[in-house]
Amino acid sequence: MSFRILGTGSSVPKKIVTNDDLCKIVDTSDEWITSRTGIKARYITEEETPLSLSYEAATKALKDAKVDAKDLDLIICATLSAEYQSPSLACLVQKELGAVCPAVDINAACTGFIYALDMADSYFKSGKCKKVLVVAFDALSKFVNWKDRSTCVLFGDGCGAVVLGEGKGLLHSQVHAQGDMSSLLIGDLGDGKPYIHMIGKEIYKFAVSTGSTEIPDAIEKAGLKQSDVDHVILHQANRRIMEAVAERLEIEKDKFAINIEEYGNTCSASIPLTLDKMNRNNLLKDGQIIVMTAFGGGLTSGTCVIEWNKGEK
């Protein structure tokens, strides 16, 4: 027995930074950013902390799931922007929630949420867990070089969370890695700060080829056809990437969820943020098939095919 999603939650910082705001600090334009990426605005952390945003998303997910934090068997936080090297963000969330279970952070960059679900699957299958909280928090604004127009316009901060319980919601999951630091690296390359260094065109190609090969592969491994899919939640990195992937598949374009205009690329949070928004807008019905695919630093990628059966007793 694997898991089904019992509840979702999300949180974003208060401060909204629009494309016009960015035009005041770098040589760019709303027209360039919108036409190249689909992004209009992003939320940027000011007084919020990784813990405050994670706690907010987690409590909303627990409430939606009607699960008490004391009943959690495991907390996994997917993040590359935790506050401290140690304790992990997951341990801080565990304490704040009053949970008594093991807690661990994982880093798979933008694919972190999918890796966390894949890990959770093994815990459910081994019988070690009956309730798992997955929190995906990232604040890439912390690593943005605000003088580099080719990256600073892309990223935003946010957090998404899901509570998982035993069930038959997960139909298939797969994760991959191909170690590479030439096209995407977050670290100090002599600038004195751990900035984002990215060759956008390389990541773009990786994202389109990953999405268009992994999605049909995962659907087939789940024993389904592309026509069975109701929603695709692709990592929200660039509207053009999502459109290019959609063109290569036999899934109608309007089944691709898109919220990049409001959030930008929120790294590991992007898929659960989108899922939470869809859940709260009542767009998800029991029995629907959702494909979630992410790609990012590492390079990593992964896909989960789930049946939405949150309402099942």
Which residues contact ligand ACO (rule: CB under 6 A)?
28, 32-33, 36-37, 109-110, 149-150, 153, 184, 200-201, 203-204, 207, 237-238, 265, 267, 296-297
Nearer to ligand ACO, 99 or 232 (CB): 232
Per-residue DSSP letters for 24-69?
TTSS--HHHHHHHH---EEEE-SS--HHHHHHHHHHHHHHHHT--G
Cβ of residue 23: shortest distance to ligand ACO, in angstroms?
9
Cβ of residue 158: shortest distance to ligand ACO, in angstroms?
13
- Secondary structure tally for the chain: helices H, strands E: 10, 13
Nearer to ligand ACO, 69 or 207 (CB): 207
Residues sharing a CB contact under 8 Å with residue 263, sequence separation 6 or more, in sequence order = 12, 41, 42, 43, 156, 158, 236, 270, 273
| 231 is a catalytic site residue | no
Cβ of residue 80: shortest distance to ligand ACO, in angstroms?
7
Nearer to ligand ACO, 194 or 200 (CB): 200
Report CA torsion sign: 309, 136, 46, 18. Answer: negative
Q: To 5 degrees, how large is the angle CA 169–CA 121–CA 227?
A: 40
Cβ of residue 191: shortest distance to ligand ACO, in angstroms?
17
The catalytically annotated residue of 77, 159, 235, 304 is 235
Cβ of residue 251: shortest distance to ligand ACO, in angstroms?
20
Nearer to ligand ACO, 37 or 274 (CB): 37
Residues sharing a CB contact under 8 Å with residue 306, sequence separation 6 or more, in sequence order = 4, 5, 169, 170, 171, 289, 290, 292
Tell me how far apart the alpha carbons of residues 184 and 299 are, in angstroms, rounded to a whole number.
8
| 265 is a catalytic site residue | yes
Nearer to ligand ACO, 110 or 164 (CB): 110
Rounded to the nearest 10 degrees, the angle between the axes of helix 239-248 and helix 200-221 is 40
The catalytically annotated residue of 77, 265, 267, 304 is 265
> What is the C-alpha end-to-end distance of the chain, expressed in Å?
16
The catalytically annotated residue of 77, 110, 159, 267 is 110
Q: Which residues are catalytic?
A: 110, 235, 265
